[in-house]
Structure 1
Amino acid sequence: MASAGSPKCCLELLKNVGKLKHLKRTGWVMRKVPNPETVSGHMYRMSIAAMMFDHSDNVDTNRVLRMCLVHDMAESIVGDITPHCGVTQQDKHEQELTAMTRLAELPAHSSGQEMLTLFKEYEDQSTPEAHVVKDLDRFDMILQAFEYEISENKPGWLDEFFTSTEGKFKHPRVVKWVQELYRQRHEFITSSNESQATSNAGAVPDTAPGS
């Protein structure tokens, strides 16, 4: 059996992580969203968002970034489990912890241990950095929902994602992003409603009155 950190084990880890490039996020699949994003796409944009934090945010930005990259790694083994999958939160946590422990055994000890530590920190929400990653996780979700509403021209279509996260954002920087997203979404919905009203007002009735 290959030892941890060997080329074979490192390749095995990367092959597992590679599955996330093709694993579609369950929430979008269940709502029949065309071309739903993948787990890796979600984590990538979260990581870019993390890079926009700086020293004024009072968090370890590098730690936030690294946590973004590993927080959903276990899904390469267990899949993207949501509350609608019929799995309890405790069972979900245990399945993901087992999977993450298995993945963390593949690279060199220090690297694997860091991945596992970051995963546990996120799951336990035990640090300010973990709170920020949770904020970014939720923010990317509602941003993606808004993008689907625009691409499908269905204003308000995915409102449940907004209501489920309302009031849960904590970090001031993310709160400002959320406020701007809400402003743009309100503008989109209002504009769409006005366009529909104008279209309806200009429609010619099938049958003229009095005919």
Structure 2
Amino acid sequence: MEPSPLLQQIEFIKEVDKLKYILRKTKLFNSDRAENDAEHSWHLALMALILVEHANAELDLLKVLKMLLIHDIVEIDAGDTFIYNTQKSHQNTVEERAAAHRIFGLLPLPQARELIAIWEEFEAGKTPEAQFARAMDRLEPLLQNTSNNGGTWNEFGVNYETVYAKKQVIQHGSATIWNYAEQLLNESVEKGILKK
């Protein structure tokens, strides 16, 4: 006998609690404690809510919030790949796609299909919603690293050119926020917390 939709949803809710145990390389603001994926997702959703007026285009904010709350759920299975990792591609979509189907597949089929489609849209980064969501995803670690005197940039020897290349995604979601981010990067070089 098939479990009821409620029981399927409860199983999903229990499963995604594991996101709280996935540690990221980036540290919390002004801290030496690593952020976990759940904290990261919550923070991005709140950032989008506050910063949406700076988006390049009119957005479906609810869709952006959904993207940000679910975008890293796949890391329960696939793990968090550090954005500056030179050994493994940050775009490990085969592993992540399998994880998306397994984890979202715990839900009733209509919800599973919706969340997989939203996750795929975020990954593709082509719609205004995905571009703004991805801008938030790149902005938060920038703010964290500047608050931590270079944080993971210094810890892992990441230079300005590499950081700049990864952060350029921000401009597709918000030219205004990109101007601010670019200024932060230049100030970080001037302060000596990001090496050219």
Tell me how far apart the structure 2 counterparts of residues 179 and 67 of structure 1 sit (CA, whole Å).
24
1:16 aligns with 2:15: yes
Tell me how far apart the structure 1 counterparts of residues 41 and 88 of structure 2 sit (CA, whole Å).
23
1:81 aligns with 2:81: yes
Normalising to structure 1: TM-score of the pair?
A: 0.70
User: Would the alpha carbon gap of residues 89 and 51 (structure 1) be closer, same or farther in structure 2, given more than 3 Å must change?
Assistant: closer
Aligned to 1:119: 119
Contact 1:67 1:133 in 2 (8 A): yes
Tell me how far apart the structure 2 counterparts of residues 184 and 89 of structure 1 sit (CA, whole Å).
23
1:36 aligns with 2:34: yes
Q: CA RMSD in A?
A: 3.3
- Alignment of structure 1 residues 136-175 onto 2, 5 Å: 136-149=136-149, 159-160=159-160, 162-171=163-172, 174-175=174-175
Q: CA deviation at 1:69?
A: 1.0
Q: CA deviation at 1:151?
A: 8.2
Tell me how far apart the structure 2 counterparts of residues 129 and 6 of structure 1 sit (CA, whole Å).
29
Tell me how far apart the structure 2 counterparts of residues 170 and 188 of structure 1 sit (CA, whole Å).
19
Rg larger in 1 or in 2? 1
> In the alignment, residue 145 of structure 1 is paired with which amino acid?
N
Q: CA deviation at 1:102?
A: 0.9
User: Would the alpha carbon gap of residues 59 and 2 (structure 1) be closer, same or farther in structure 2, given more than 3 Å must change?
Assistant: same
Name stretches of at least 5 consecutive residues in structure 2 with no aligned partner: none
Normalising to structure 2: TM-score of the pair?
A: 0.74
User: Would the alpha carbon gap of residues 185 and 120 (structure 1) be closer, same or farther in structure 2, given more than 3 Å must change?
Assistant: closer
Contact 1:101 1:116 in 2 (8 A): yes
Contact 2:139 2:181 in 1 (8 A): no
Q: Which moved more, 1:140-149 or 1:79-88?
A: 79-88
Tell me how far apart the structure 2 counterparts of residues 182 and 24 of structure 1 sit (CA, whole Å).
27
Structure of greater relative contact order (alpha carbons < 8 Å, 6+ residues apart): 2
Aligned to 1:128: 128
Tell me how far apart the structure 2 counterparts of residues 125 and 134 of structure 1 sit (CA, whole Å).
7
Q: CA deviation at 1:159?
A: 4.9
Q: CA deviation at 1:4?
A: 6.3
Q: CA deviation at 1:186?
A: 5.3
**CA displacement, residues 147-194 of structure 1 (integer Å, 9 cap, x when unaligned):** 222789x8xx8655632335332246x33234335545655775x67x
Q: CA deviation at 1:100?
A: 0.6
* Greater strand fraction, Structure 1 or Structure 2: 2
Runs (4+) of structure 1 exceeding 6 A deviation are none
Name stretches of at least 5 consecutive residues in structure 1 with no aligned partner: 194-211
User: Would the alpha carbon gap of residues 56 and 121 (structure 1) be closer, same or farther in structure 2, given more than 3 Å must change?
Assistant: closer
**CA displacement, residues 72-102 of structure 1 (integer Å, 9 cap, x when unaligned):** 1100122112462744567x21111111111
Tell me how far apart the structure 2 counterparts of residues 139 and 2 of structure 1 sit (CA, whole Å).
43
